[in-house]
A and B are shown apart, each in its own frame.
Chain A
Amino acid sequence: DAGVTQSPTHLIKTRGQQVTLRCSPKSGHDTVSWYQQALGQGPQFIFQYYEEEERQRGNFPDRFSGHQFPNYSSELNVNALLLGDSALYLCASTPGRFGGYTFGSGTRLTVV
């Protein structure tokens, strides 16, 4: 049974560009959350998607947006990349909005 799958695993982008990260949730999970983890810090909540809608959002600017598809997979989009957006981006899925989290291994984004 596959867990949470994220792609790509590593990505290098230039400041000002846009990036799209992808996440496939664990089988049986319908809710996806995204977290940003800067080097040496704990993960920070970005937002959660359930039933194809953003249900809750952390303290992140509108440059961060997302989407959830009917098959429950999700994308995280970041526009106008800044050097400070360099981080590990983690996707987590849950069975329902309040279930136990399963995290993916993340996408390492480097902005140069």
Chain B
Amino acid sequence: DAKTTQPPSMDCAEGRAANLPCNHSTISGNEYVYWYRQIHSQGPQYIIHGLKNNETNEMASLIITEDRKSSTLILPHATLRDTAVYYCIVRVEPGAGSYQLTFGKGTKLSVIP
């Protein structure tokens, strides 16, 4: 079973920041938080991951709370092409023996013109 909880759907106005929350209250010390997204009829696409520090790349920012029990993915300026299902996944660090990604149902983000 997935170890994360996400809202089933969210709307965001085009050009505004999209903030997608994720709860992972049972996360272990060696587990990373990963975010993927899946645009309709395509395979999941990696967005970002982090352990305990906030992370930023060209696609998004990841804010992890100090107790690591929740996180927020931020798309700073949402476009229509960001409409997708966003998955928050916890996974042990690479090399620590977990090979698979365990997906929940994710959050369906709709960017509104």
Q: Which residues of A contact B101 (CB under 8 A)?
A: 43, 45, 101
A58 and B45 CA atoms in complex are apart in Å by 21
Among B45, B95, B99, B105, contact of A103 (Cβ-Cβ < 8 Å): B45
Q: Are B106 and A42 in contact (CB under 8 A)?
A: yes
Instruction: Give the interface SS of chain B, mostly helix, strand, loop or mixed.
Output: loop
| Chain B CB within 10 A, most for which of A41, A43, A97 | A43
- How near does chain B come to A84, taking the closest CB pair, in angstroms? 18
Alpha-carbon gap, A102 to B46, bound state (A): 8
A85 to chain B, nearest CB (A): 18
Nearest A-chain residue to B44, judged by Cβ: A103
Residue from B41, B44, B45, B96 within 8 A of A43 (CB atoms): B44
Counting residue pairs across A and B whose Cβ atoms lie within 8 Å, the total is 50
Q: How far is the CA of A99 from the CA of B43 in the complex (A)?
A: 17
CA distance A112 to B101 in the complex (A): 30
- CB neighbours of A55 from chain B (8 A): 99
Q: What 0/1 readout, one digit per residue, does chain A (72-106) give for beta carbons within 8 Å of chain B?
A: 00000000000000000010100001111111111
**A70 to B: closest C-beta gap in Å:** 21
Question: Count of chain A residues with Cβ under 8 Å from any Cβ of B?
Answer: 25
Interface assignment of B57: CB less than 8 Å from any CB of chain A: no
Chain B 96-109 interface 0/1 with A at a Cβ cutoff of 8 Å (1 = within): 10011111111000
Contacts of B94 in A (CB 8 A): 98-100
Residues of chain B whose beta carbon lies under 8 Å from any beta carbon of chain A = 2, 41-46, 87, 94-96, 99-106
A sample of 26 inter-chain contacts (CB < 8 A) reads: A42-B2, A42-B87, A42-B106, A43-B44, A44-B103, A45-B100, A45-B101, A48-B100, A55-B99, A56-B99, A90-B43, A90-B44, A92-B43, A98-B94, A98-B95, A99-B94, A100-B94, A101-B101, A103-B43, A104-B43, A105-B41, A105-B42, A105-B43, A106-B41, A106-B42, A106-B43
Query: Which 6 residue pairs are nearest across A and B when measured between Cβ atoms?
Result: A42-B103, A103-B43, A45-B100, A98-B94, A98-B95, A56-B99
